[in-house]
């Protein structure tokens, strides 16, 4: 199984466990799966430590996965006797406010834009002017 297939299986596990994929990133390198970001439920909510432990157990049992490297902002994950130990991390009020401001501003958002056809600069500028007029009326 190649890294792309492992990434797909990791994504399947995350979706099956109702993980908000807009807040977590993952990648496979060799036999190591890297997970980083914020682990939240989709569409909203938090996981219990038991839910998190089951998720990491599922991912670690995928074929050819020998190691997990985890850097989550809201959970501390440690390998324990044959499994995983998950502890939620408390954020300070300042950190939560900064995160909320960043979300409102769109900072840190990853988006994929698919361009169906090439447009000239004049078409793009005309479209921008049109949208500005629509918003102001």
Q: Which long-range contacts (CB under 8 A, 24 or more apart) does 119-124 make?
A: none
Partner residues linked to 26 by β-bridges: 35
Q: Which of 3.30.70, 3.30.40, 2.60.40, 3.40.50 would CATH assign to domain 3-105?
A: 3.30.70
In the chain, domain spans: 3-105
pLDDT tens readout for residues 47-64: 999 999 999 999 999 999
Compute, in degrees rounded to 10, the torsion defined by CA atoms 30, 13, 54, 100. 100
Phi/psi region, residue 124 (left: phi>0; alpha: psi -120 to 50; beta: rest), is alpha
pTM comes to 0.65
Question: What is the predicted pLDDT for the residue at 65?
Answer: 94
CA angle at 42 for the pair 73 and 112, rounded to the nearest 5°: 80
pLDDT tens readout for residues 98-116: 777 777 766 656 666 666 7
Token pair listed for 1: 């199984």
Count Cα neighbours of 5 within 13 Å in the Cβ-side half-sphere.
7
């Amino acid at each position: 199984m190649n890294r792309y297939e492992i990434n797909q299986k990791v994504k399947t596990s995350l979706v099956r466990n109702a993980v908000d994929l807009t807040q977590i990133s993952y990648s496979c390198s060799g036999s190591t799966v890297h997970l980083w970001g914020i682990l939240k439920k989709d569409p909203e909510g938090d996981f219990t430590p038991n839910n998190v432990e089951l998720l990491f157990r599922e991912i670690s049992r995928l074929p050819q996965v020998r190691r997990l490297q985890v850097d989550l902002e809201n959970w501390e994950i440690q390998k324990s006797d044959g499994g995983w130990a998950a502890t939620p991390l408390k954020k300070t009020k300042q950190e939560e406010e900064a995160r909320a401001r960043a979300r409102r501003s769109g900072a840190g958002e990853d988006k994929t834009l698919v361009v169906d056809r090439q447009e000239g600069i004049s078409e793009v500028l005309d479209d921008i002017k049109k949208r500005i007029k629509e918003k102001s009326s």
